[in-house]
Amino acid sequence: MGIASNKFLAKVASDLEKPDGFVIIPDEGCQEILDPLPVSRIWGIGKVTQKALKSTLIISPYTGHKNLVSILLRSTHLAVA
């Protein structure tokens, strides 16, 4: 069972300690819990999306968070001077 402030985080929490575990993801600590997880552990990320994210070097929420601006700039072909 997972408890969190929203359905997305609650689903992630419930998957962390299956089948009999109980996980609470507090708002102030959610980034520390999510960052080390592979993107495949995030609810809603399937094989196709995982492959697409991996091609942009996003292999975890941490790498996605740290590289978000550069990835968006590359994917939209914008230049920053």
Distance separating alpha carbons of residues 77 and 61, to the nearest angstrom: 23
Q: How many Å apart are CA 24 and CA 17, to the nearest integer?
A: 11
Return the pLDDT at 72.
58
For residue 56, the SS3 value is coil
Q: What is the pLDDT of residue 50?
A: 81
Q: Which domain holds residue 13?
A: 1-34
Angstrom distance (rounded) from CA 51 to CA 67: 17
Q: What is the pLDDT of residue 20?
A: 82
Residues 27 and 44 occupy one common structural domain: no
pLDDT digits (tens, 9 = 90+) for 64-77: 666 655 665 665 55
pLDDT at 37: 82
Regions of the chain short of the pLDDT cut 70: 57-81
Residues 30 and 50 in one domain: no
- The answer to whether residues 26 and 56 belong to one domain is no
Residue with token string 């994917």: 75
Question: Are both 6 and 25 inside the same structural domain?
Answer: yes
Give the total number of structural domains in the chain: 2
Residue-level pLDDT at 81: 46
User: Do residues 29 and 48 share a domain?
Assistant: no
Q: What is the percentage of the chain residues whose pLDDT exceeds 70? A: 69
Quick one: 30 and 66 in the same domain?
no
Output the pLDDT for position 71. 61
User: Residues 44, 60: one domain?
Assistant: yes
Tell me if 29 sits within 8 A of 36, measured CB to CB: no
**In 3-state terms, what secondary structure has residue 42?**
coil
